[in-house]
């Protein structure tokens, strides 16, 4: 570890293999909190690279609960969090819309960390279990096309990292990589990040992690979701090639809303918002979810254009398919014993 720390302190980047070695050491019994904290802060002070992100993600995934699946085209639309926007659960709501349009979603998520209500909080309030075992997750993905993977459940070996992260109280590489550590082999991904300056780097990380297609977005107001408040900044990864562009809601014939108009509340309030959107209640929440679901369908390749993605998203809601995905996940949850995590 010492040689890796010295290299970072000299403002030198680690290779993927060096980052893997450093991360693997963090999972050994004799690691100290000081060493983990030093690695995280040295990376942050230097500035993380795509190789370093890919390296730490590879090791974390290898240390996670495996969720094997025979499905070949699975995606996730999880964001990093950290934007302090206190919005409703946009990506969670959009996930059901994307699934209703025919794309298999392995939704990775957690309880609230930087926002008021995390994806796990709102889904738990709706009666969805956080305790699915790997074989149950595989069955649900096969039969329902969407399953929820609760991060602490599938990453039990990260407790030491989380302890240090909490004690540091500073944003580190751990604030960026959550959506990348999904244990399911993802083919495509919609990734929202709160750091606009890291769009290209994160797209390169997704390339190194083997994504066929991906879309990385930082929304208006620096949200980790696409926003209807103004220009959204995006980078598309398509078969190894990346391209950057901006997108304003008016280009898609969508209304403009301020980010304050899509604020959420506690788990109970956000659960109501989620259900209202999936049942087609008009307004800022619906239009924001449709935009993000449309981007997800474009990121996956189900839609050839963002406009087509938005069209498919609206059909998913109007047909009742999106709401049915939620209802079926709630039904699956009733069939397994409850577990407090």
The CATH number assigned to the domain holding 173 equals 3.40.1030.10
Other Cβ atoms less than 10 A from the Cβ of 284: the count is 19
Is 83 labelled as part of a ligand binding site?
yes
Is 114 labelled as part of a ligand binding site?
yes
Is 70 labelled as part of a ligand binding site?
no
Residue 35 has pLDDT above 50, yes or no: yes
Average pLDDT in the 281-301 region? 98
Packing angle of the helix pair 134-144, 321-334 (nearest 10 deg) = 150
Q: Is residue 261 part of a domain?
A: yes
The residue among 61, 83, 111 that closes a domain is 61
Coil/strand/helix, residue 191: strand
Q: Is residue 316 part of a domain?
A: yes
Q: Is residue 245 part of a domain?
A: yes
Residues 250, 307 contacting (CB under 8 angstroms) = no
Is 113 labelled as part of a ligand binding site?
yes
Among 32-41, 57-66, 81-90, 292-301, which stretch is predicted with the lowest mean pLDDT? 81-90
Is 317 labelled as part of a ligand binding site?
no
Is 124 labelled as part of a ligand binding site?
no
pLDDT band at 341 (very low <50, low <70, confident <90, very high): very low
Residue 246 has pLDDT above 50, yes or no: yes
Q: 202 and 167, same structural domain?
A: yes
The residue among 29, 61, 93 that closes a domain is 61
Is 224 labelled as part of a ligand binding site?
yes
pLDDT band at 203 (very low <50, low <70, confident <90, very high): very high
Is 31 labelled as part of a ligand binding site?
no
Is 44 labelled as part of a ligand binding site?
no
Residue 340 has pLDDT above 50, yes or no: no
Is 239 labelled as part of a ligand binding site?
no
Q: 80 and 10, same structural domain?
A: no
Which residues are CB-contacts of 222 (< 8 A; sequence separation ≥ 6)?
A: 83, 194, 196
Q: Is residue 325 part of a domain?
A: yes
Q: 252 and 228, same structural domain?
A: yes
Average pLDDT in the 174-183 region? 94
How many helices (H) does the chain have, and how many strands (E)?
15, 7
Q: Supply φ then ψ for residue 32, to 5 degrees.
A: -105, 155
Is 177 labelled as part of a ligand binding site?
no
Is 319 labelled as part of a ligand binding site?
no
pLDDT of amino acid 82 = 83
CA distance 69 to 67: 6
CA distance 329 to 341: 19
Residue 294 has pLDDT above 90, yes or no: yes
Q: What value does the mean pLDDT of the chain take?
A: 94
Q: Please give the distance of CA 302 from its chain centroid, rounded to a whole number.
A: 19
**Closest alpha carbon to 43 in 80, 79, 7:** 7
* Rg for the chain, CA atoms, rounded: 19
Q: Is residue 69 part of a domain?
A: no
pLDDT of amino acid 68 = 85
**Closest alpha carbon to 149 in 103, 181, 173:** 181
Domain of residue 269: give its range. Answer: 75-334
Is 111 labelled as part of a ligand binding site?
yes
Q: 92 and 6, same structural domain?
A: no
- How many structural domains comprise the chain? 2
CA distance 206 to 235: 11
Average pLDDT in the 239-244 region? 96
The residue among 32, 61, 90 that closes a domain is 61
Average pLDDT in the 325-329 region? 97
Q: What is the pTM of this model?
A: 0.95
Q: Is residue 68 part of a domain?
A: no
**Closest alpha carbon to 61 in 189, 148, 180:** 180
Residues 114, 79 contacting (CB under 8 angstroms) = no
Residues 128, 148 contacting (CB under 8 angstroms) = yes
254: left (phi over 0), alpha (psi -120 to 50) or beta: beta
Q: Is residue 115 part of a domain?
A: yes
What sections of 209-320 are H helices per DSSP? Answer: 267-278, 284-300, 306-318
Q: Is residue 26 part of a domain?
A: yes
Per-residue pLDDT tens for 86-144? 899 999 999 999 999 999 999 998 887 655 688 999 999 999 999 898 899 999 999 99
Q: Supply φ then ψ for residue 152, to 5 degrees.
A: -60, -25
**Closest alpha carbon to 87 in 195, 194, 173:** 194
Residues 106, 147 contacting (CB under 8 angstroms) = yes
CA distance 250 to 227: 12
Q: 86 and 53, same structural domain?
A: no
pLDDT of amino acid 112 = 74
Q: Please give the distance of CA 146 from its chain centroid, rounded to a whole number.
A: 14
Is 108 labelled as part of a ligand binding site?
yes
Residue 16 has pLDDT above 90, yes or no: yes
Is 306 labelled as part of a ligand binding site?
no
């Amino acid at each position: 570890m010492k040689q890796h720390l010295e290299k970072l302190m000299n403002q030198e980047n680690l290779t993927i293999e060096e980052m893997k070695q450093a991360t693997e050491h963090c999972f050994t019994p004799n690691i100290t909190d000081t060493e983990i904290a030093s690695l995280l802060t040295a990376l942050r002070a230097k500035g993380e690279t795509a190789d370093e992100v890919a390296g730490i993600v590879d090791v974390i995934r290898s240390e996670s609960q495996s969720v094997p699946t025979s499905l070949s085209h699975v995606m996730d639309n999880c964001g990093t969090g950290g934007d302090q926007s206190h919005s409703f659960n946009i990506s969670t709501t959009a996930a059901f819309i994307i699934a209703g349009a025919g794309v298999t979603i392995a939704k990775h998520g957690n309880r609230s960390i930087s926002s008021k209500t995390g994806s796990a909080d709102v889904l738990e309030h709706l009666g969805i279990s956080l305790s699915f075992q790997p074989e149950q997750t595989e069955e649900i993905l096969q039969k329902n096309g969407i399953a929820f993977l609760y991060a602490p459940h599938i990453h039990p070996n990260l407790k030491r990292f989380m302890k240090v992260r909490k004690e540091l109280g500073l944003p580190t590489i751990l604030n960026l990589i959550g959506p990348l550590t999904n244990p399911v082999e993802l083919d495509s991904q919609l990734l929202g990040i709160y750091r606009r300056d890291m769009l290209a780097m994160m797209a390169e990380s997704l390339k190194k992690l083997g994504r066929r297609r991906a879309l990385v977005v930082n929304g208006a107001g620096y949200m980790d979701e696409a926003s209807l408040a103004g220009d959204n900044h995006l980078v598309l990864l398509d078969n190894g090639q990346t391209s950057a562009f901006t997108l304003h809601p008016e280009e898609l014939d969508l209304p403009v809303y301020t980010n304050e108009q899509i604020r959420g509340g506690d788990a109970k309030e956000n659960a109501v918002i989620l259900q209202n959107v999936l049942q087609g209640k008009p307004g800022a929440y619906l239009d924001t979810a449709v935009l993000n679901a449309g981007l997800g369908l474009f990121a996956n390749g189900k839609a050839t254009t963002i406009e087509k993605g938005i069209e498919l998203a609206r059909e998913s809601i109007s047909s009742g398919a999106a709401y049915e995905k939620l209802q079926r996940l709630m039904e699956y949850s009733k069939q397994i014993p409850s577990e407090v995590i």
